[in-house]
Structure 1
Amino acid sequence: MTKALWQPPRLRRDEEQVSERHATWLELFYDLVFVAATAELAHSLSGNISWTGCLKFAILFVPIWWCWVGATFYATRFDIGSIVDRLFALVQMAIVAAMAVNVHHGLSSSGSGFAICYVLFRVTLILQYLNAGHHIPAARSLTTWYATGFGLSAGLWLVSAFLPPPLRLGLWVVSLAIDLSTPLSAGRLVAKIPPSMPHVLERIGLFTLIVLGESVIGVVGGLAEHEWSLGSILVGLLGLAIAFSLWWLYFDTADGSPLKSMKVGKMRVALTWLYAHLPLAMGLVAAGVGVEHLIAHDATAIPSSAERWLLCSAIATCLLALAGIHYMSCALGTARYRKILSAYRTASAVLVLLLAMVGDRLSSLNLVTLVALACVVQVLLDLLRSSVATRPATATETSQPSKPT
């Protein structure tokens, strides 16, 4: 074990693994700092439920999520058990913690600090890639490509730290576009060294659990900070029903089949599937904040327009993201079945958005009941279709002659 700690980076390949690879203790520990960062983002949104507050939440969520994605995909290709990578992980955790501290004023007074933190994180990731490329010639083309693209983006982020907020924000958008498009343009190189598909799916599932936890925290926090009543308890239970339904819809059909297109250099499908998890994650966190605010009211009181829109738009975003994810997940069945699943999710999202538009007279309890119903119905429809798909054919059905082709 001690000898392995001093070894240089080693390339991981699925075909070389004796057993299926799972998240390491270091990766699980690493996730904890992103739990804290997500909690700070949720707290910031809770203190400013408005269109500007939601925009701020989304803008700051993206770079934090992208930091996690960057570290995760590095760890799927290279062994992260060495002393060097462990020290890199420690530094990155400290940087993400600093990013979380700067979240509350990330678009104003703390914007420069947030930008510098992001630059530092990306620089450590670039150094990891360059170190891996130095020791592994087969990976050098890919690591150089990533280091170049990510380095250009980091340079723009560094410049943004010295600009006023409007210009800074514009440069952030350009920089993130470069970051997100760098893997998209590396298809030929990725095909030679694809990530570990089972490991990526597990890691993304773990991050989804992290953000789902914010929904549970929202229920617990809402009940803990306010006097209990039958109405608030019902709202809390319905909030848990929403979280449980979204967990069911995602994890009962969790499938990373679109990622397999990376093995032949087709990055568009794989990255569309991956990037669809970004609005899903943001929606799950925002939904927890929305439920917490509804619990704070008397169950018969009418929530504010901002609170109603926050909850409904968050759930609609989750359902639309699931519609896209399920449509691309080939292992779920035929194209027709996947279209039906996506249609279910989309229709339910539209209904939830209609509640936001016309539900200005709905009490907190009635609103969360209808939103929970929209989510639970999705689970019931999936169960119904699953039971029909697995039902044995009857004698009548099997005796019917097949139609000529």
Structure 2
Amino acid sequence: MTDSTDPAVAPADAEPGERHASWLELFFDLTAVAGVAQLAHLLHGGPSWPDLGLYVVMFVAFWTGWMLFTVYGNVSGDEARVWTLLAGMFGLAVMAAAVHGVREGTQAGAFALAYVLVRSVAGKAWGRRREYVADLPITQMGFGLTPWIVSMWFDGAARYALWALGLAVDLAVMFSVSSKRLTARVDEEYAQTAARGRGAGRAVRLRAAYTDPAHLGERLGLFVLIVLGEGIAQVVSAASDIPWDRALYGAGAGSFVLLILLWELSLRHGSGGVPLLRENTLPTRLSLPLHSFVAGSVAAMAAALGDCVAHADEAVPERVRWLLCAGLAVFLLVAGVALVCSGRGAGRALLWAGPPVALVVAVGGLAREVRPGPLVWLLVLAAWWPVLLRLRFDRPAAPASPDHMSS
């Protein structure tokens, strides 16, 4: 399922060569390692509703900053300015360092200022290139940045509400503005500027640029891999601090298997880190939000898995249980959406995602005294279901034998 007015890939006459992440891009991704770790630690012990809301806002903000510079490197290729990427890296590092201070109320201003600067540097990078990314409208339409600037004059809940508003505006723009509409808007702005009497010589006509889908998919997959790595780190760290017994073996092994299944669905049977999504079936502006939902849900599960292993001999606290179940439910729901977008039909999506989501919700609501081992293995069962169906019913057709072809 694709938008006929919004190509999922660059035009055929601009086919890029095969590219892989450069050393600079991999160095830049170290900020993602730091940021995901800091954000996941916010959820330890089971978050309250305000803590969970703040986590969602900060994760999406951090992911947005990372994504904008990732797309800049993707489109610019060898022409990307090293200092531009390093400036973005520094801004993201400041955001990561301020995470814990945001919850305590001491570094909220620093987090917001760093985000505004990250967005501004990313915007100026496209201005210098005299380009706009046709399949990513927020590179040209920065309406969502205004609430972040206004938030500098507010404190507490009002400030966080403005952050959420800004991110909601950006998401709305990404879902609603196609490349065709964005191109028309850019051309209209150029015509208006030229007609104001300033002369067409002073008006700057921006060129449309397109992402390299294969390279961008690799970068998005690496981000999901980083988040899965945080899950492994949380489990290993928790296991290293407690006595090893049968309860730990059950919870630890189950956590490892669950992370393997998430990797299987996202990176082996998905595209760009989005589980069960076929390549080149969605425009960039639509696949990127799905990626953020996947990455945020897996990071939340990473924190919950660490708590489960750390208290393997006790009943799982209600907030930890719900965090783990809700994270997996979001992941599976995105997989269901990806199935529909990949043209596999609503019926198949319901069959593949419906039963595991129902199981996860039931476990979250009813398993009130469950211990970590049984809880994690129930979730393994839920995540295994779409993997099983994928292997059973969605295998590529086997090549015909020579005898069959000759007949």
- Using structure 1 for the length normalisation, give the TM-score: 0.81
**Alpha-carbon deviation of 1:282?**
1.1
Evaluate the alpha carbon distance shift between residue 319 and residue 86 of structure 1 in structure 2; reply closer, same or farther with a 3 A threshold: same
- Secondary structure of the residue aligned to 1:318 is helix
**Alpha-carbon deviation of 1:16?**
5.2
Q: Which residue of 2 aligns with 1:22?
A: 20
Q: Which residue of 1 aligns with 2:232?
A: 216
The separation in 2 between residues aligned to 1:105 and 1:346, in whole angstroms, is: 39
Pairing 1:2-401 to 2, within 5 Å after superposition: 19-46=17-44, 49-79=47-77, 81=79, 85-107=81-103, 108-133=105-130, 139=131, 149-150=141-142, 152-183=143-174, 184-185=176-177, 187-188=179-180, 189=182, 192-255=208-271, 259=280, 262=283, 270-299=284-313, 301-330=314-343, 335-336=344-345, 339-386=347-394, 390=397
Question: Would you say the 8 A contact 1:99–1:117 is kept in 2?
Answer: yes
**Alpha-carbon deviation of 1:18?**
6.6
The separation in 2 between residues aligned to 1:243 and 1:20, in whole angstroms, is: 29
Question: Would you say the 8 A contact 2:46–2:319 is kept in 1?
Answer: no
**Alpha-carbon deviation of 1:341?**
4.3
Question: Would you say the 8 A contact 1:241–1:376 is kept in 2?
Answer: no
The separation in 2 between residues aligned to 1:145 and 1:279, in whole angstroms, is: 19
Evaluate the alpha carbon distance shift between residue 222 and residue 377 of structure 1 in structure 2; reply closer, same or farther with a 3 A threshold: same
- Secondary structure of the residue aligned to 1:106 is helix
Question: Would you say the 8 A contact 1:13–1:196 is kept in 2?
Answer: no
Question: Would you say the 8 A contact 1:211–1:285 is kept in 2?
Answer: yes
- Secondary structure of the residue aligned to 2:141 is helix
User: Matched residues, percent identical?
Assistant: 28
**Alpha-carbon deviation of 1:281?**
0.8
Unaligned runs of 5+ in 1: 1-11, 134-138, 263-269, 394-405
Deviations 1:329-358 (A, max 9, x none): 24xxxx34x741453123201211110100
Q: Matched residue pairs, number?
A: 360
The separation in 2 between residues aligned to 1:376 and 1:49, in whole angstroms, is: 27
The separation in 2 between residues aligned to 1:363 and 1:73, in whole angstroms, is: 43
Evaluate the alpha carbon distance shift between residue 13 and residue 327 of structure 1 in structure 2; reply closer, same or farther with a 3 A threshold: closer
The separation in 2 between residues aligned to 1:65 and 1:141, in whole angstroms, is: 18
Indicate the structure whose relative CO is greater, using CA pairs within 8 Å and at least 6 residues apart: 2
Unaligned runs of 5+ in 2: 1-9, 185-207, 273-277, 401-407
Question: Would you say the 8 A contact 1:132–1:143 is kept in 2?
Answer: no
The separation in 1 between residues aligned to 2:365 and 2:303, in whole angstroms, is: 19
